Every structure is written in C-alpha cells, then in structure tokens.
C-alpha cells in the first residue's frame, strides 16, 4: 500500500511555567493510503497532539523541535497559514469530539455546508443538493428538510453525523478524527464506526482516528499506533496487535477477556503507577516505572525500535540479550 502521510522523527515541546514539557519524542509512523489508522493511548500520551500537529493546529506554547510530516510533495510542518488553510478546505478534513465546537450555532446546516464549498464553482442550488445528498449518506432522516435545521435542533448523535457530513463534503483524501464517538452512547458509537468505514470505502478517504477506546480501535481500524508518554511504543495491523502484542504496555492494555476486545464500550484499563515527569531529563525505557517486566537495563538504556510482525515495537525484551527469549523473569534472573 502507498503511504499518504508520513510522520518522521517528530518531536514537540510545550513551554509551561513548570519548564519545557517534552510532549512528543521522535514520533515516526506511516499512514497508509485508503486505510483507517488508530492512535491509542491514555490521556497525556500525546495522541491528539500528534494528530493536530499535522495541520498546525497547536496551542501557542507548542514548539516542534524536530521532524517532518510529509504529505505528497510537501512537509506540512513548513507550510504557511494560507497553505494549511487551502489543504484543510479541500484535501484534509477534521472531525472533533464535540461537534458543538466546530458547528456554528447561529447558522443552519445548509448555509454552513455551502460555505465549506466556497472554493467550488457551483451554484447555491448545487451546493444545497450536495449538502442534502451528504446528509442522506450519513443517515440523517428527511435531509431535504433537515438541511435547514440549526445544530441545537439535532440530538448529539445527529449532530455528530452532520459533523461527519460536513467533513466529507469536499471528498477529502484524509480525515482526522479526535475521539469522534466519546460523547455518544454505545449503540450510536457502533453506528458511527460502521458509517466511517463505509465512507472510507465509498470515497477512498484515508482516516486517522485518535481514541482511548480499544473496542473502537479494534472495530474501526486497520492499523494501530500505541503511544505512551509521548513515544510510539508499538505499531502494527489491528489483527496482529490484538492477537500478538509484543510490548508490555500494549499487553497490559489488552489484558482482559479476549471476547470483549471488540466491545466498543471497553475503555482503557487502569495500569498502576505514574507516567514520568516529561519536564525532566529522560533515561532508559519510558514505561519502566509501570512495567511488570522491568529489568535493570530498562532503567539505564533506551530500548531501540525493532521491526516485529506487521509493525515495530520498543522494548528490551525484543532485542539484545533477551531477544527471542520470550519473557524473562523480573530483574533478568
Ligand atoms: Fe518493560 Fe523494560 Fe520493555 Fe520497557 S524495556 S517495556 S521496562 S521490559
Ligand atoms: Mg485528547
């Protein structure tokens, strides 16, 4: 499969009054064309920051310190504001967790959706037809009338469908979604997963979705990136990650009844311990403070990223003296 978007060596810091938080460190992964890639991690793992950094949608105190985000011939990190706006208007779309933050309360959907098509040489009637067709495609009942509704007249689930319709209107190559179903109930969430997979199939849109919900990732995605405390710890295809996880963090996330992995109501389990202070110099494996398999070497030496299965993983158990030796006992005895 071709790579549509390639994140390479991305590092980012937030300037705060506690010091510089090294929020992303050397993040690399490809997004394959026509696939749905899920980025999963706890809050604070940097998963949303990776997503928004690709479009320059970052807080004012964020600073990219290294890396590139290649899309076609351009490095998105070097595009100016106008270049990013043009890209967002046509080729790349976003779906937010809360549609109320991205939909304009005082404008009916017909107007908001025709505004999205402002670059197109279409008549107002054609834009309205396009809006109605897309609302119908995402499952809004009676779209000919509902296109004149305001966001507050829709239920939460309908609003998220309308949000997806708005983001699909230009037929984007790439759709970025941050926790798109978090505000919805389980039934609605399952419907939304089906909807987004269907849209990917119909429009050949590549999707990157950020979630802390393993069930959603298992049901919706083809590829997974597991993040922990600002690093990629493991990547792979969904079937591979869910059956052959190699990193102790991924394994800890998956520790539960395998029959429930595809349960969309399943959120990340709580793993005891704290993530390291990302304002301090970091040494060794980032997961050492919480890892059940920690060995002395883990606290002093950063494990390399090694290729395994359909992706990569970063753990001393996969390389060096412990390579291919399965799971040595704690402390390397
Ligand atoms: Fe655990 Fe060590 Fe592997 Fe880190 S390198 S995940 S601490 S076993
Ligand atoms: Mg987030």
Q: Which atom of ligand 1 is nearest to the CA of 247?
A: 6
**pLDDT at residue 267, as a whole number:** 65
Residue 250 is assigned to a structural domain of this protein: no
In a domain, 164, yes or no: yes
Domains held by the chain: number? 1
Between the CA of 159 and the centroid of ligand 1 the distance, in Å, is: 43
In a domain, 109, yes or no: yes
Q: Which atom of ligand 1 is nearest to the CA of 293?
A: 8
Residue 157 lies in a domain: yes
Q: Which residues constitute the domain of residue 104?
A: 97-169
Alpha helices in 212-265 (DSSP H): 214-220, 238-244, 248-254
Q: Which ligand sits nearest to residue 209's alpha carbon?
A: 2
Ligand 2 midpoint to CA 301 (Å): 29
| Entry field: residues in the chain | 333
Q: Which residues crowd ion ligand 2, with CB under 5 Å? A: 48
Neighbouring C-beta atoms of residue 137, cutoff 10 Å: 18
Alpha carbon distances (Å) from 108 to 159, 244, 302, 327:
12, 48, 53, 58
pLDDT of residue 189: 87
- Does residue 158 form part of some domain? yes
226 has which bridge partners? Answer: 40, 234
Closest CA to 34 of 175, 215, 133: 175
The answer as to whether 148 is a domain residue is yes
Residue 189, φ and ψ in degrees, nearest 5: -60, -45
Q: Ligand 1: which residues within 6 Å by Cβ?
A: 248, 285, 287-288, 291, 293-295, 298, 303, 315-317
Give this prediction's pTM. 0.91
* Any domain includes 118: yes
Q: Among the atoms of ligand 1, which is closest to the Cα of residue 294?
A: 7
Distance 45 CA to ligand 2 centre (A): 9
- Return the structure tokens found at 47: 């998963």
Spell out the per-residue pLDDT of the chain, length 333, in tens.
699 999 999 999 999 999 999 999 999 999 999 999 999 998 889 999 999 999 888 888 999 999 999 998 899 999 998 999 889 888 999 998 877 778 999 999 999 999 999 989 999 999 999 999 999 999 999 999 999 999 999 998 999 999 999 999 999 999 999 988 887 888 888 889 999 999 999 999 999 999 988 888 999 999 999 999 999 999 999 999 998 999 999 998 887 545 555 565 666 677 778 888 999 989 999 999 999 999 999 999 999 999 999 999 999 999 866 665 454 444 433
pLDDT of residue 330: 40
Residue 110 token pair: 């017909």
Nearest-CA residue for ligand 1 atom 7 is 288
Q: In what order do the strands lie in the sheet with 231-237?
A: 92-95, 174-178, 206-211, 36-40, 223-228, 231-237, 311-314, 305-308
Contact (CB, 8 A) for 36 and 196: yes
Nearest ligand, CA of residue 182? 2
Give me the pLDDT at residue 265, please. 61
| pLDDT attached to residue 260 | 54
**Which single residue is written with the structure tokens 């890892």?**
291
Ligand 1 test: best mutation among 229, 306, 315, most atoms within 8 Å of CB?
315
Least distant ligand from the CA of 325: 1
From 232, 306, 316, 330, mutation site for ligand 1 pocket: most ligand atoms within 8 A of C-beta: 316
CB atoms within 10 A of CB 141: 9
Dihedral sign for Cα 159, 161, 166, 167, please.
positive
* ipTM > 0.90 for the complex: yes
Q: Is the residue at 58 inside a domain?
A: no
């Amino acid at each position: 499969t071709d790579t549509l978007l390639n994140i390479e060596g991305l590092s980012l810091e937030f300037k705060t009054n506690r010091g510089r938080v090294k929020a992303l460190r050397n993040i690399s992964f490809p997004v394959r064309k026509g696939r749905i890639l899920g980025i999963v991690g706890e809050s604070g793992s940097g998963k949303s920051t990776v997503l928004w950094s690709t479009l320059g949608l970052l807080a004012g105190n964020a600073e990219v310190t290294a890396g590139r985000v290649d899309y076609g011939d351009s490095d998105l990190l070097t595009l100016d504001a106008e270049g990013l706006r043009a890209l967002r208007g046509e080729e790349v779309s976003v779906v937010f967790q809360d549609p109320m933050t991205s939909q304009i309360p005082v404008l009916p959907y017909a107007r908001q959706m025709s505004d999205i098509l402002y670059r197109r040489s279409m008549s107002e009637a054609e834009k309205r037809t396009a809006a109605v067709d897309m609302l119908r495609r995402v499952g809004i009942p009676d779209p000919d009338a509902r296109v004149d509704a305001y966001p507050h007249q829709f239920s939460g689930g309908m609003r998220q469908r309308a949000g997806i319709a708005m983001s699909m209107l230009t037929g984007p190559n790439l759709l970025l979604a941050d926790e798109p179903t978090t505000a919805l109930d389980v039934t609605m969430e399952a419907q939304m997963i089906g909807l987004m997979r269907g849209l990917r199939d119909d429009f050949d849109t590549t999707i990157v979705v950020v979630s802390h919900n393993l069930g959603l990732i298992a049901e919706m995605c083809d590829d997974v990136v597991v993040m922990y405390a600002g690093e990629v710890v493991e990547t792979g295809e969904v079937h591979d990650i869910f059956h052959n996880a190699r990193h102790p963090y991924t394994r800890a996330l998956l520790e539960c009844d395998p029959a429930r992995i595809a349960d969309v109501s399943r959120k990340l389990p709580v793993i005891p311990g704290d993530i390291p202070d990302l304002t301090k110099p970091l040494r060794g494996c980032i997961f050492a403070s919480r890892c059940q398999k920690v060995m002395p070497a883990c606290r002093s030496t950063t494990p390399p990223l090694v290729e395994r299965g359909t992706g990569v993983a970063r753990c001393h158990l996969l390389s060096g003296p412990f390579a291919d030796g399965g799971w040595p006992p704690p402390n390397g005895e």
